[in-house]
């Protein structure tokens, strides 16, 4: 584990139309190197589409918090290919021998 972050989410700020299937919200979280006047260095906002980013649409911030533990290592997550399933094991013919 590289870090533990605590946040407080203001659910009243969630844009209901951005919920996928009525229950999933895509979010983006920033971890800053410096803390603000409240001792926080983490902020979370609703993810934006490419069009929203290009139009410089104002972000809807829904949470803030702070890193409470870290081993000073945060790595970029890379998508891993799904492991190939092992071929089905063929059953051996029944053997009535006692050994």
Tell me the domain boundaries of the chain: 3-70
Longest dimension (CA), the chain: 78
Residue 26 near residue 45 (C-beta atoms within 8 A): no
The mean per-residue pLDDT over the stretch 33-55 comes to 95
Residue 3: pLDDT band (50, 70, 90) is confident
**41 has a pLDDT exceeding 70:** yes
Residue 95: pLDDT band (50, 70, 90) is low
Coil/strand/helix, residue 17: helix
Q: What Cα–Cα distance (Å) separates residue 79 from each residue in 20, 44, 76, 84, 98?
A: 22, 22, 10, 15, 50
pLDDT of residue 73: 80
Rounded CA-CA distance 45/39 in Å is: 18
Does this model's pTM top 0.75? My answer is: no
Lowest mean pLDDT among 14-18, 41-45, 51-55, 75-79: 75-79
């Amino acid at each position: 584990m590289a870090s533990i972050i605590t946040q407080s989410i203001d659910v009243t700020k969630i844009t209901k139309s951005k919920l996928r299937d009525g229950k999933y919200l895509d979010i983006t979280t920033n971890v800053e190197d410096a803390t603000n006047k409240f001792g926080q260095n983490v902020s979370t906002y609703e993810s934006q589409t490419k069009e929203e980013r290009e139009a410089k649409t104002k972000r809807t911030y829904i949470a803030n918090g702070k890193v409470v533990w870290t081993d000073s290592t945060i790595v970029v997550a890379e998508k891993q290919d799904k492991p190939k399933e092992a071929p089905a094991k063929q059953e051996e013919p029944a053997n009535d021998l006692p050994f």
